[in-house]
Structure 1
Amino acid sequence: MTSKRKQRGFLSLDMAFGLIVFSVVVTMTIIWQIRQMDAQDYRIAADQQRTISEAQAKYLKDNFNAVLNNATATVPVQITVPMLINTHYLPAGFSSTNSFGQTILGLARKPNPNQLEVIVVTTGGQTIPEMGIRAIAENLGGPGGFISTTNPNIVQGVRGGWQVALSNYAIAPGPGHTASALFLMDGALANDYLYRNAVPNHPEYNAMNTDLGMGNYNINNVGSLTASGNVATGGDVTARNVTATANVNAVTANITGDTYTGGWFRTRGDTGWYSEKWGGGIYQNSPDWVQVYGNKNFSTGGEIRAGKLSSSGRTQVGEYLQLDGAAVEGNDCSPNGMWARDANGPLFCGEGKWKKPGGWEFQLIQGTCQAPYRGSVTCSLGDTTWKSCSLTGAFGVGDSEAGYIFRNTSGWYLSTSRLTWPGLFYWSCFK
């Protein structure tokens, strides 16, 4: 008997433990289901508020001036759900309250001329728990906010992203309510996000207000890049065309095609142009001389003009040497050795005078001699600048033979073996 009673006691204890475990599991399941249902309610409330906020934004874009004219900095204009339904920004039958019985409406105030600041806020209904309003705000994203028990006088953005004083909108919904922030300028929806698309008349909506850090990621498919400051990179810059309105500074410029300039090609050192292929070039390393690098030859099929040509070696011409400098025979000149020309031919500078080149010149000279006798005969010639002459023939009475005449301080003298006087003579003379 005792044994059976003990067994019944053990069975009752096992059943008690089983019931406890079952109760805990059921309770946890119910709590989980309640939380899931709450989370679903929060998501639904956030979706409904987001839809109304988007309708509010469209309404305000289309009716910006009307709202702006009726709003002040302290008295906002109310945009209700029925107004949005009547103006076809929301479908008929859309509820103006969320699942917690809270009414959703928009409030637009004018903090500055031509500017609207708008929030969408819930009022009345149930007070949603702190965790609930934070969950709804999280589901709303960046514009989402909530009114907390810790500070019921402001709307706080998600994770402290923004905040707005409720006194600006002359409303105090109290804790447990949610809000969305819309900021409008000149009739276009504006917030602190960078817009992907252009907003007409508002280029500032596509502009950054601070430095843009790409975290070592690329910016691809840029049409044009305009900068008012420096463009710095530790890598290469590859482009089809590069246009600069000021200077381009670089250590080395490698150009595979032609190089054009409207100004000078300037070098700042003792350098110039250099042919990397052939090892020649033109450079200047002194104030007076432009030089050919590598002592290369200088060739042209055209002309070379200079004020003066100097050669330390031989001067060679392939055709003729043409002298354009004219001089007058007998005039002074310096230095000796220069060449010039007159109308009859070349002249050279010798003994300080312009002269014809040395050699015999054959000219007819009329002269008379003093007396016919053998030996030396004193003769008179019309040109006294001749140094010596040779008798080549005579015309007149009698015959003649070749002879030689010379001049000293007294006059001209004839040396011949036989002459018959008087007569006219031909002389070959040398100056």
Structure 2
Amino acid sequence: MKSERRITGPDSGFAMMSVAVALLIVMMMATMASGYMSDYLKSRQWQLMAAQTNRFTQAVESYAGRYYISALASATTTRPVTITAQMLKNTGFLPAGFRETNSNGQQLKALLIRNAQHAEVLQGLVITMGGQPLPYKALRQISLDISSGLGGYIRDGRTATGAMNSWAVPLAGFGTSGGNGHIAVLLNPETLTGAREDSDRLYRFQVNGRPELNKMHTSIDMGGNNLNSAGVVNGRYGNFDVSVVSNGPVTAGGDIRSTGGWIISRHGRGWMDESHGGGFYMTDNEWIRSLNNKSIYTGGQLKGGSLRSDSDISAGGVLKLDQTSYAGTWCPQNGAISHDSSGGILSCQSGVWISSGKLSLFEMVSGNNACGRFVNSIAYCPTGKQLISGGYVLSKWSGGHGWNSPDLSMPSPSENAWKIYTGGGVSGGTCMQAISWCASN
């Protein structure tokens, strides 16, 4: 069986003391490390508060620059214009997800008033309201970390004080009051005026992250000067006092209207329908031509001084002649057609209007009797009348089996007569007689 041997003597107490000292040192270091970590986390939290305040202040400056005129009109030297985080979100100066309170629950807002010495300019104060108050150590660090505006804090509820006591303004001067342990940022007139100038100034080059610096917010007057070397000009309307000149095509999505002038083309060009290849143009001083020899169609009228066709003329209705001419009078061109007062057709023959008119004074004329074989009978129309038809009659019949019709029955234009010729089958007792129908023209 083993037995323990207790150490005795002068060294036993010293060993126990050494262990106790070592434990004490470890506990002290752990306590110090815990304190350092706590201070580090608080410091990081306060840095984030300063960054949040910086972002809010920058948005306030941009908002004031954009709406400087309206803010100046609403503010007085004692009554401020209040700007909230929601207003900055609604106008696009803060993102929708921006948190309106810091980690102590204090809400950010800005106050703009007219400067007491120069009422035409604004000055501002950003403060936090409500929530849990911050200790002085936090206020001091946050005020030093604020880089937009002049960082400060509120300790007594009446005065906003700058970092390292660099400035002090009474809260009553901005028409407000506040609690202890809150953040403050002073926006002097120069800062807000500069923000206004940023908003009003157009930059020659793009400024990253600042698209508003290259956006016009009012009309621009060029004072009669030119706008040269533009690329694409986009807009809704264009008003020009003199002219518009283009060296290329002009394309319109709607109508092209001229209220007091002409649509003028040059060099044998005119109007063309691109889809169907038709249109009108001129290549000389006389004729308006149809592009690609397209036909012209209208349900209305074509009206002009005269009408000429190089080929046939076809009318789906009647041909109406408005001019009245008179038979026996002079006419301008042989072959022309007109009409008299009763509608009778006149033709121009040898420079005189001649009626092709209606037949009248009809008369039947009988020729001589042709009896027997191989005999002629001729019926002559009287002078002044014209043969229009003819025939024959069997004037005498001998009976039997002889012929009762001539071998020949025909007009004789040279004699203005109708004639017949009996054949060899006509018996001696049979007679035939030529008949002419005559009329006046």
TM range (shorter): 0.3 to 0.5
User: Relative contact order: is structure 1 or structure 2 higher (C-alpha 8 Å, sep ≥ 6)?
Assistant: 2
Give the TM-score normalised by the residue count of structure 2.
0.40
